[in-house]
Structure 1
Amino acid sequence: MITLTGSGLTLGKLKQIIIGREQVKICPEAMRKVMKSRDAVERIIADGRTAYGINTGFGKFSDVKINAEDTEALQLHLIRSHACGLGEPFREEVARTMAVLRLNALLKGHSGIRPVVLERLRDMVNQRITPVIPSQGSLGASGDLAPLAHLALVLIGEGEAVLGGIPMPAAQAWERRGIRPVRLQAKEGLALINGTQAMTACGALAFLEAEQLALQSEWIAGMTMEALRGITDAFHPAVHEARGYPEQTAVAVRMRNWLDGSRLTTRQGELRVQDAYSIRCIPQVHGATWQVLDYVREKLEIEFNAATDNPLIFDEGETIVSGGNFHGQPVAFAMDFLKIGMSELASISERRTERLVNPQLNAGLPPFLSPEPGLQSGAMILQYAAASIVSENKTLAHPASVDSIPSSANQEDHVSMGTTAARHAARIVGNVRRVLAVEAFCAFQACAIRGKEKMSPALRQKWDALSEIIPPLTEDRIFSCDIAKIERRLLEEARISGLNSDTGSGS
């Protein structure tokens, strides 16, 4: 059971909730803060004071005063009108993560929302009533309005949800769990949809996969090094300490550990003086990606525990401020950075694959690892496929955060496009896994040719694990099936790994 307090939520805890299926509970002290901020909203209504989103319209309508008897209808109209997401829905894990993150943010006690609404968010998470949330339609400022409105629809028993893998009307899902949906009151609809939880949820799950992929890329690169009889001197501790980046040094340490005991790797001057960059610069390039991951982790965990709606209530209602914490620029930058860092892991991996299959570069291995060069093409087109994905990543890596389109009659005249950045980051992470799977396949085949008995003990274990799902290459076959199997194995290992860990692995 994970206790949510409005602070202290980490990627490790989030993974336990979403992947490990831990349930959540609400901290009583946090709930007391929630009740105090709700009391402030009630006083504003009773006193007839004007406050944005409580008794005014929204966006360009912020100057329109709403009568007290219409405040409940105002919230209902808000949710229905803003639930205009488009495109394919987010996967269920993203939608559940959105609910967890919104609950945690509201528990900070600055939003003026009733405890019952937070209890329903908790029930949504624990009972696994998952909102169907279209993935397109957010500008990433004023919050992720459209996606979060679809989440809020389910809270009030409207829209669509998934329960036990079956899509159904939200009201039916609540009924099956014996729980009544909520009726929103003043401020509550706005509190639910003013936030960055769609981009942050999508980005957080992409990050969790990316972090594990960065680790997996190292043993895959190590296997390639053995297949190419790479020079281990490039990983000498002094080289990396001389530069000073801790992430680079940590990659070099792990590479030395993976290759320890190998009878396939070489030393300077034995076969050649130095390797190509895609081999020699593994610590420098992979280490730089770990620097990106460290940055992204920090920004995501800040956002997990941030109050991101508007207006915010302070001093037990004495201070109510309309601000802009819903603006997704910090997350947008982080997601664009993640896109670039992960794209480079695929780029350097594809270059190593080229060296494994190119007879001019692969140190005597058969052309394209073919069992009968000419009659059989071997892994020739696998490199094509990897190159295609690397090229696609270059397009997806274009920063979304440099774009902005004004909205709400120019009241909301600068937006982050952070959700687009996060969606593209998730696509890139999936693409990187496919490129690494191609490298792993080729390195697996090449090491079988070199002599798997000469591999390092650590990498031989990885080779044996791969041999359980793919056979050595003795005849051309449908290689997409092999790549899909490796890809699934990498994903399964990533989901299991680090479930009880709260720290990064870059340094």
Structure 2
Amino acid sequence: MKTFQLSLISIAMLTATSVSAVELNGSSLTQDDAWAIAEGAPVSIAPEAMDRVKKSYELVLEAAKSGKEIYGLTVGVGLNKDHKVISANGELSEEVKAASRRFNYSTLRSHSIGAGPALDPKLVRLAMVIRLNTLLKGGSGVQPRVAELYEEFLNKGVTPVVPTKGSLGDADITLASHVGSAMIGEWKVINKDGKQVASMEVLKEKGIKPLVPEGKDALGILSNSSVAMAMTMDAAKAVRQILKVTPIVYGISLEGLNGNVAPFLPQTVDFHQFPGLAEKASELRKVLAGSYLWDKDESRRLQDPLCFRTTVYTLSEAQNALNDLDKVINVQINGSDDNP
């Protein structure tokens, strides 16, 4: 038994080390790869993508020095958008940097106000994958260290506790901010036993240096839709599974009813050239291949209840809706949703 257990452990370790890292570049993340990382696959950042992050950071610093008003950097956020936070006056002095850090810490603390039970850790990891990839577009102006921390958190299994109730939509500001609070060591994370522990304790254990936020770091971490997109991808995944099993359930139900196959015959659906209808009709026919429903039965009803007659149309429209959703998701997880 011990030998068998050791063999299983060895196989697991070999499998873990043989998995190649998914490289993120800000523009080619697939939903499958995002899920793979969320479920434990290692992640890496493409060099050219990290270079964009560095250049965007340098750009906003130069703009700040020149006296330009920059949302979340030289001026406040929300109602404070017209109030100066720092005045660089051509130089980013230590005094100016200290003021920026105070503002960033305050922003993360004041926005980390989510409530309710904790979000599924896998969805939190998925949200971090999405945000890391969108950061790599180079539109956020955050320190490169922020991108590095997302990468470290994912690769070292550090999962912040993110509540389920807060703002969703234009920006998940009261939810995504908890990731930033964990990065600065002032919040909670899920440890390997599934318990909530102080983030600083885990950062020390994993050898991760906490973030010292400045510039646009806080805004870059909290002002995005990564949590909402993780939830959307989870919903899309559930719908995909439903569409996969529904033809089988329908086929079994139709057999139990001794129902009519006429609604999804080729000669029937050919009269309705709706997108995807022919494909779903073909799928239903394949599910019922070899069924007695294809045999003539004088006792069979001429027409089944409406819910059975229209199933092929419902399935095709549901598939079309999922296809449209997938297109939007693929754009969103590969685009910058930073405040311009």
Residue 224 of structure 1: how far off its partner (Å): 0.9
Q: What is the rounded CA distance, in whole Å, between the counterparts of 1:9 and 1:269 in structure 2?
A: 55
Q: What is the rounded CA distance, in whole Å, between the counterparts of 2:142 and 2:289 in structure 1?
A: 57
Residue by residue over 1:293-315, the C-alpha shift from the partner in whole angstroms, topping out at 9 and shown as x without a partner, is: 1111111111111211123xxxx
What does residue 130 of structure 2 align with? 101
What does residue 285 of structure 2 align with? 256
- Alignment partner for residue 3 of structure 1, among 11, 23, 26? 23
What does residue 266 of structure 2 align with? 237
Residue 15 of structure 1: how far off its partner (Å): 2.4
Residue 205 of structure 1: how far off its partner (Å): 1.2
SS at match of 1:135: strand
- Alignment partner for residue 278 of structure 1, among 307, 315, 321? 307
Given the alignment of the two structures, is residue 24 of structure 1 paired with residue 43 of structure 2, yes or no? yes
Identity of aligned residues (%): 28
Unmatched 5+ stretches in structure 1? 312-507
Residue by residue over 1:196-226, the C-alpha shift from the partner in whole angstroms, topping out at 9 and shown as x without a partner, is: 1111111111111211111111111111111
Given the alignment of the two structures, is residue 195 of structure 1 paired with residue 224 of structure 2, yes or no? yes
What does residue 52 of structure 2 align with? 33
State how 1:62-81 maps to structure 2 within 5 Å. Answer: 62-67=81-86, 68=96, 69-81=98-110
What does residue 44 of structure 1 align with? 63
CA contact (8 A) 1:231 1:266 kept: no
What does residue 168 of structure 1 align with? 197
Q: What is the rounded CA distance, in whole Å, between the counterparts of 1:136 and 1:263 in structure 2?
A: 51
SS at match of 2:276: helix
Q: What is the rounded CA distance, in whole Å, between the counterparts of 1:23 and 1:265 in structure 2?
A: 50
SS at match of 1:3: strand
Residue by residue over 1:145-180, the C-alpha shift from the partner in whole angstroms, topping out at 9 and shown as x without a partner, is: 000111111111121111212221111122221211
SS at match of 1:87: strand
CA gap 1:176/1:229 in 2 versus in 1, 3 angstroms: same
SS at match of 1:181: coil
Residue by residue over 1:24-73, the C-alpha shift from the partner in whole angstroms, topping out at 9 and shown as x without a partner, is: 11011111111111111221333343322111111111111123241111
What does residue 289 of structure 1 align with? 318
Letter in 2 for 1:154: A
State how 1:112-261 maps to structure 2 within 5 Å. Answer: 112-141=141-170, 143-164=171-192, 165-261=194-290
Unmatched 5+ stretches in structure 2? 1-20, 87-95
CA contact (8 A) 1:25 1:122 kept: yes
CA contact (8 A) 1:232 1:266 kept: no
Residue 2 of structure 1: how far off its partner (Å): 1.3
- Alignment partner for residue 79 of structure 2, among 47, 56, 60? 60
Moved over 4 A (4+): 264-270
SS at match of 1:211: helix
Q: What is the rounded CA distance, in whole Å, between the counterparts of 1:265 and 1:180 in structure 2?
A: 67
Residue by residue over 1:440-482, the C-alpha shift from the partner in whole angstroms, topping out at 9 and shown as x without a partner, is: xxxxxxxxxxxxxxxxxxxxxxxxxxxxxxxxxxxxxxxxxxx
CA contact (8 A) 2:224 2:338 kept: yes
CA contact (8 A) 1:230 1:266 kept: no
Letter in 2 for 1:243: H
State how 1:311-460 maps to structure 2 within 5 Å. Answer: 311=340
What does residue 367 of structure 1 align with? none
SS at match of 1:60: helix
Letter in 2 for 1:9: L
Letter in 2 for 1:55: T
Residue by residue over 1:232-270, the C-alpha shift from the partner in whole angstroms, topping out at 9 and shown as x without a partner, is: 222211222321123222221111111101125655855
SS at match of 2:336: coil
Q: What is the rounded CA distance, in whole Å, between the counterparts of 1:299 and 1:261 in structure 2?
A: 39
RMSD of aligned alpha carbons: 1.6
Q: What is the rounded CA distance, in whole Å, between the counterparts of 1:151 and 1:267 in structure 2?
A: 63
